[in-house]
Structure 1
Amino acid sequence: MIIAAAHGSTPAPSLNAVGRGERAPDPAAFYDALRAAPAPAAAADPFTAHVLACILAVGLHEAALDGSSLGRAVGLDRDQLAQLLRDWLPAGLAQIDLAAEPSTAAFDDEEEQLLQLLQSHQADQSAPARWLTAMVVRRSMSDNHLWQDLGLIERAELTRLMDERFPHLAGRNVSNMKWKKFFYRSLCEMEGFTLCTAPSCRECADFDNCFGEETGESALARIRRDAPRAG
């Protein structure tokens, strides 16, 4: 699976597994390439296009590193990826090998629970809403702050995404809890039990773990900074 760089004669980063000592592909180049030829939908809703490109760029980077697929990294199947690219990011159609993508998107039990939670709070049933729900679920299984796992520039972009796509659920996060923590507290409440035994969040010794600042670099910036310099 290959996606070309957007500008000039920069070599196209390979999405094959990266060997030891080789430079990892730059997700920022993936992002630029995906945004190179915006479709009408992207022009009408640039924020959604930005979010989709961020998630795909991080997914492409991960797929290149471990030799897996973009669909597995972002929770979408082949047909969903094809429609997303066609409708929003058509520059990727000629460069991403959709035939290598999974025909179905498989979710484990934990992901299915989160999927049901988010699906029940979608603002609408449009294709972008369904894609973003699946993508947020899959990226929630990664290890960093959720905004970083989605490839976003800062946490405020995730807050905007939640407000626009899951407004009722987002409105319940009145104390600005970290989003992954908030998801799992919501899941626990659905099942009729509490996440922890503290009498209240303010009295919990682990308060910062749920409510502390979610600072740091974006995934795209961090990966570019940490990559060994060519030559």
Structure 2
Amino acid sequence: MNEAASLADDALALIACANDPAAADTVAFARLIGARIGSGELLLLGLGRSELDALIARHFPHAVTRAGLPHAMLWSPHWSFVSELRALLIAHDVTAATHPADAHCLATIIAAACLRPDHLWRDLGLSGRDDVTAILERHYPRLVERNVHGLRWKKFLAQEVALAHGRAVTGAPGCPGCEDVGFCYPDSAR
């Protein structure tokens, strides 16, 4: 897949401000942040102002303006789920070459997206499930290997959080609002 060809305009603008525009994490963060810039939904990334400022400075140091960045994270009654999923992802991150703060930011962005009521790839602003798979395979390959039944990523991640904490498996907080909740959780659709 030619990643540059699939980048939206806002992501391309960020890539143009990067020191290393071909770096996999730079491209991934350009896509994740770029998907939220145009819609004014940066809060949906789950990052606070200082985290987002630092992330942009690390990957896109030539970005001229940072106006409109959120000052605080989006509030949710489900932040305990986000914290648990973020910790699970960070524990499985194998990309030692990345900046430790990048691992935290990526895990936060993925976990916060699980609060949204759609497929994870849409909630992340990506083009499809394969985009999520590529990010997860790069950072969390051992976790990806455990998805032996090919579950949708949001369902799988919620399942892993529940199992890690000895709880009954339930959906992610955003699952009930998804159009395919009956597919993923057929017993709950009755």
Which among 98, 111, 127 is matched to residue 101 of structure 2? Answer: 127
Alignment match, 2:176: none
What is the 5 A alignment of 1:26-65? 28-40=8-20, 42-43=21-22, 45=23, 47-63=24-40
1:79-103, Cα deviation, whole Å (9 max, x unpaired): 22222222212343x22227x5326
Q: Provide the C-alpha distance between the structure 2 equivalents of 1:56 and 1:207, rounded to a whole number of angstroms.
A: 27
> Structure 1 unaligned runs (5+)?
1-26, 65-69, 197-205, 212-231
- Displaced runs of 4 or more, over 3 A: 103-107
Q: Provide the C-alpha distance between the structure 2 equivalents of 1:149 and 1:156, rounded to a whole number of angstroms.
A: 14
RMSD: 2.9
TM-score, length of structure 1 as denominator length: 0.61
What is the 5 A alignment of 1:191-230? 191-195=165-169, 209-210=183-184
Alignment match, 1:96: 66
Does 2:113 align with 1:139?
Answer: yes
Q: CA deviation at 1:182?
A: 0.3
Alignment match, 1:158: 132
1:44-65, Cα deviation, whole Å (9 max, x unpaired): x1x322221111122223426x
Which among 48, 56, 59 is matched to residue 77 of structure 1? Answer: 48
Q: Give the residue type in structure 1 aligned to 2:61.
A: P
3-state SS of paired residue (2:92): coil
Task: Calculate percent identity across the aligned residue pairs.
Answer: 25
Q: How many residues align?
A: 165
**Higher CA-based Rg:** 1
